[in-house]
């Protein structure tokens, strides 16, 4: 499948690599060997990160600081396939989707470059690796932010918490209104930046995200409740509480009674899903 080059980006096909790069960075990226497989492998070898998260490396390109991460599979096939991709499309699509959403006003990071390269020669698992790709994506570094889980665990004041929840509701609404459909919306995929008297939220990790014009209430509510379940799973719902969830929902639905009613119509089904997931969390903690 051909991924269209976003405005302001250039497509780079060099050797075994297929890349999309911000045109203002392309020359610097070439000089830093970040548009070739060996250079990206070397940068990712220095990557760090918490367990269960994609490892990231902070790289400087001119005056820009970028966060580079490898593209990894999750779900049931994750432990088996790891970073194996069967084609270059996935990271290229992430860059294109991120660029389109940002242009549409969604609160997402500024994309820098991304792409894929053939993984042959990177291991000794057999000839099949010659048909496998590895991928990487880089965005501008979001300074003075923490993911929402870390931010909550740090114990914000009630005033800060109220500002963050209202900002989060408004930010996710902007993301959805721009057509963003996030396959894994949870606490760690929201960055919190506290300013003097306000708060900014950035939606990150758009691997496998899609642009869906006129995102339906059913799809919106499923993603909102996935975020809610991440509070429950991490035992942080007690810090947010029912008033906090209500504040988030009011900010998300502000000015749109029809959307509010459509979301609430999905609540019984989503509550049943929460109950099923909560049982899994209980079993996991008990084992």
List the chain domain ranges.
Answer: 9-140, 146-286
Label residue 72 by pLDDT band (50, 70, 90).
confident
Residue range 134-147, pLDDT digits in tens: 999 999 999 999 99
- The whole-angstrom separation of Cα 251 and Cα 172 is 9
Residue range 183-231, pLDDT digits in tens: 999 999 999 999 988 999 999 999 999 999 999 999 999 999 999 999 9
pTM score, whole prediction: 0.92
- What percentage of the chain reaches a pLDDT higher than 90? 79
pLDDT of residue 92: 98
Looking up tokens 């930010």, which residue turns up?
Answer: 171
- What percentage of the chain reaches a pLDDT higher than 70? 88
Label residue 257 by pLDDT band (50, 70, 90).
very high
Label residue 124 by pLDDT band (50, 70, 90).
very low
Label residue 83 by pLDDT band (50, 70, 90).
confident
Q: SS3 of 2, please?
A: coil
pLDDT of residue 37: 92
- The whole-angstrom separation of Cα 236 and Cα 187 is 10
Mean pLDDT of the chain: 90
pLDDT of residue 80: 62
Closest CA to 81 of 123, 38, 115, 50: 123
Query: Torsion angle, CA of 248/251/254/259, rounded to 10 degrees?
Result: -40
Percent helix, strand and coil across the chain, each to the nearest 5: 45, 20, 35
Q: SS3 of 72, please?
A: coil
Label residue 154 by pLDDT band (50, 70, 90).
very high
- The whole-angstrom separation of Cα 73 and Cα 80 is 9
- The whole-angstrom separation of Cα 26 and Cα 61 is 10
Kindly tell me if the per-residue pLDDT of 90 is higher than 50.
yes
The helix (run of H) or strand (run of E) holding residue 56 is strand 56-61
Class of domain 146-286: mainly alpha
Which comes out higher in pLDDT, residue 124 or 24?
A: 24
- The whole-angstrom separation of Cα 65 and Cα 240 is 33
Structure tokens belonging to residue 214: 């006129």
Kindly tell me if the per-residue pLDDT of 121 is higher than 80.
no
Whole-number Cα distances in Å, 242 to 43, 165, 233, 245: 43, 12, 16, 5
pLDDT of residue 276: 87
Structure tokens belonging to residue 238: 């007690």
In this predicted structure, which of 157-161, 244-248, 251-255, 273-277 has the lowest mean pLDDT?
273-277
pLDDT of residue 122: 44
List, as one string, the DSSP characters of 17-49.
EEEEEETTTHHHHHHTT-SSHHHHHHHHHT-B-
């Amino acid at each position: 499948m051909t991924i269209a080059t976003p405005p302001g980006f250039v497509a780079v096909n060099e050797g075994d690599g297929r890349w999309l790069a911000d045109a203002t960075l392309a020359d610097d990226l070439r000089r830093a060997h970040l548009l070739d497989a060996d250079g990206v492998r070397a940068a990712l070898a220095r990557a760090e990160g918490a367990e269960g998260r994609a490892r990231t490396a902070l790289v400087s390109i001119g005056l820009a600081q970028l966060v580079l991460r490898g593209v990894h599979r999750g779900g049931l096939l994750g432990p088996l396939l790891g970073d194996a991709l069967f084609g270059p499309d996935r990271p290229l699509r992430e860059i294109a989707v991120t660029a389109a959403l940002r242009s549409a006003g969604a609160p997402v990071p500024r994309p820098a470059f991304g792409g894929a390269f053939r993984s042959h020669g990177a291991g000794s698992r057999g000839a099949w690796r010659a048909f496998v790709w590895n991928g990487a994506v880089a965005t501008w570094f979001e300074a003075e932010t923490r993911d929402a889980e870390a931010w909550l665990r740090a114990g914000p004041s009630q005033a800060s918490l109220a500002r963050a929840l209202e900002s989060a509701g408004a930010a996710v609404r902007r993301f959805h209104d721009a057509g963003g459909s996030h396959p894994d919306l949870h606490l760690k995929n929201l960055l919190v930046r506290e300013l003097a008297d306000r708060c900014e939220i950035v939606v990150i990790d758009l691997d496998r995200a899609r642009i869906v014009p006129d995102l339906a209430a059913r799809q919106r509510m499923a993603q909102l409740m996935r975020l809610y379940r991440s509070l429950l799973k991490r035992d942080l719902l007690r810090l947010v509480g029912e008033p906090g969830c209500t504040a988030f929902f009011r900010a998300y639905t502000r000015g749109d009674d029809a959307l509010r009613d459509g979301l609430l119509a999905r609540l019984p089904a989503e509550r049943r899903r929460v109950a099923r997931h909560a049982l899994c969390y209980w079993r996991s903690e008990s084992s």
